[in-house]
Amino acid sequence: MPVTAAYPRRVRWWKWAGLAGLAGVAATGVVAARDERRRRAYTPDEIRERLQARVAEAVERDPSGAPPER
């Protein structure tokens, strides 16, 4: 198979695309880990209070308690 001048460029392009993909995966992992730490920072009592406040707010908006239509 003869080596042409275009072959190294094509390989270089795929290398950059692969490196960009790896960087994207790493960045996604960092964001997911940060969000998980933020979620775990709440105590169970704080979570319960927040959920109860959200339920109360939803009931105020729609007292019938019917789920929204999709």
Task: For residue range 10-51, list pLDDT tens digits in order.
Answer: 678 888 889 999 999 999 999 999 888 887 888 889 989 999
Distance, CA of 2 to CA of 56 (rounded, Å): 73
Tokens at residue 9, please? 């460029």
Determine the average pLDDT of the residues in 47-68: 85
The pLDDT value recorded for residue 54 is 93
The pLDDT value recorded for residue 64 is 77
The CA-atom distances, in angstroms, between 16 and each of 4, 11, 29 are 20, 9, 20
The pLDDT value recorded for residue 57 is 92
Determine the average pLDDT of the residues in 59-65: 80
CB burial of 20-54 (b: ≥16 within 10 Å; e: otherwise) equals: eeeeeeeeeeeeeeeeeeeeeeeeeeeeeeeeeee
